[in-house]
Copies of this chain bind each other. A is one copy, B any other.
Amino acid sequence: MATLEPPKTIMNDDGQPNGEVPDLSQDALLDMYEAMVTTRLLNERGMKLQRQGRIHFYVGSMGQEASHVGFGAALKETDWYFPHYRDTGVAVLRGASIEEMVHQCYGTAEDHIQGRQMPNHYSFKDINFYSISSPLSTQIPHAVGAAYAAQIKDDDVVTGVAFGDGSTSEGDFHVAMNFAGVWNTPTVFLCQNNQWAISVPTEKQTASESFAIKAKAYGFDGVRVDGNDVLALYQASREAVEKARNGGGPTLIEAVTYRMGPHSSSDDPDRYVPQEDLEAWSNRDPIDLFQAFLHEQNHLTESEDEALRERIKDEIQAGVESAENAEGPTIDSLVEDVYAQVPWHLREQADDLKRFYGERPDMDGGH
């Protein structure tokens, strides 16, 4: 992909504008920043909790905070967001509480999903943040179907859907893009090209010139944007979202970024990620960049920044304490939500299990 034009940017490496800055209020800018910082801090704490054996897994998004937050910020609250598993920042931006997220990572009874999924697999319907799945790319057709439904109901709703570079290789990416093209749905696709699918680099993923160009196969446009530049991401997403909202159909956005951490807490990237790459990309850390921009534009002082980070850390700490003192889910919760009503065979199975475990087993794990 070496001969391609560089992706669109708005901030230079010092966080200074080198393009037209989108028209965003100070509040809006600070919300985006807070979402990015929260994501980073949750990531740090989550990885630590995992190493301490207090939670069992964590999948972070170090380096990719701008990629999803810039995109998420371009959507309205009423728009539906279909997340990639790294998109904690969008949940924060839309109003998910840190406490809820920590309970999810611990899988407690207070977790909205009753400890049924691995950490970071959030689901927040009240803020139109769709349930995260582990199987890759499966959410992409859902976003297209929901957009179709919104369209025929005449609702003013756009769907945004995010996924990784590796995820474009799955059949579900292809079928979803193709249906979106034919139906001209109000859907914006975000490919977060972080250069890796676990250990597989993009050149083993596809021979295509770029990910953006894949949109051509479906009859709509693709754009390549600097994924570490939250303003550039916002701007490109905004245009795509407006186009979709006005009946102009789908767009594919490729956010060119880099995964600055392990794939997940189970991964050891030293086996395959070149140290030079990490060093090179760390000069364009999305949070540093945006921080410099906000300082320079007088939106945020250093001490305000400090205070913000302290507040977030405290919230995380409070969440951890709350989760560590919470009870685990009940045996009955094991058989609920399989169907709208618990059918006879599941009732029998739960009752049988209660002979062994009572109503509510102790939370296990290392905490």
Contacts and interface: CB of A to CB of B under 8 A. Distances in A.
Interface of A: 169-175, 178, 181-182, 184, 203-209, 213-214, 216-220
A354 B15 CA distance: 81
Nearest to A208: B219
Contact of A170 (B171, B207, B213): B171
15 contacts: A170-B171, A171-B171, A171-B175, A174-B174, A178-B207, A181-B206, A184-B207, A206-B218, A206-B219, A207-B219, A208-B216, A209-B216, A213-B216, A213-B217, A216-B216
Nearest to A249: B207
Q: Name the residue among A174, A181, A204 with the largest chain B CB count within 10 angstroms.
A: A174
A209 B173 CA distance: 19
A205 B179 CA distance: 8
A178 to B, nearest CB: 6
Given A206-B218, A217-B217, 11 more contacts: A170-B171, A170-B175, A171-B172, A174-B175, A181-B206, A181-B207, A182-B203, A184-B207, A207-B220, A208-B216, A209-B216
Nearest to A222: B217
Contacts of A214: 217
Given A213-B216, A217-B216, A175 B169 contact: yes
A181 B169 CA distance: 12
Copies of the polypeptide in the assembly: 2
A204 B216 contact: no
A206 B213 CA distance: 16
Ranked nearest first, the 3 interchain pairs of A and B with the lowest CB-CB distance are A171-B171, A207-B219, A181-B207
A38 B170 CA distance: 40
Nearest to A169: B178
Contacts of A174: 171, 173-175
B217 A208 contact: yes
Contacts of A170: 171, 175
Nearest to A220: B207
A174 B217 CA distance: 10
Contacts of A205: 182
A285 to B, nearest CB: 30
Nearest to A203: B182
Contact of A218 (B171, B178, B203, B207): B207
A352 to B, nearest CB: 32
Nearest to A184: B207
Contacts of A219: 206-209
A178 B217 CA distance: 13
A184 B170 CA distance: 19
Contacts of A209: 216, 219
Nearest to A137: B171
Contacts of A204: 182
A93 to B, nearest CB: 31
A107 to B, nearest CB: 33
Nearest to A180: B207
Contacts of A220: 207
A208 B182 CA distance: 9
A254 B169 CA distance: 22
A154 to B, nearest CB: 22
Contacts of A208: 181, 216-219
Nearest to A181: B207
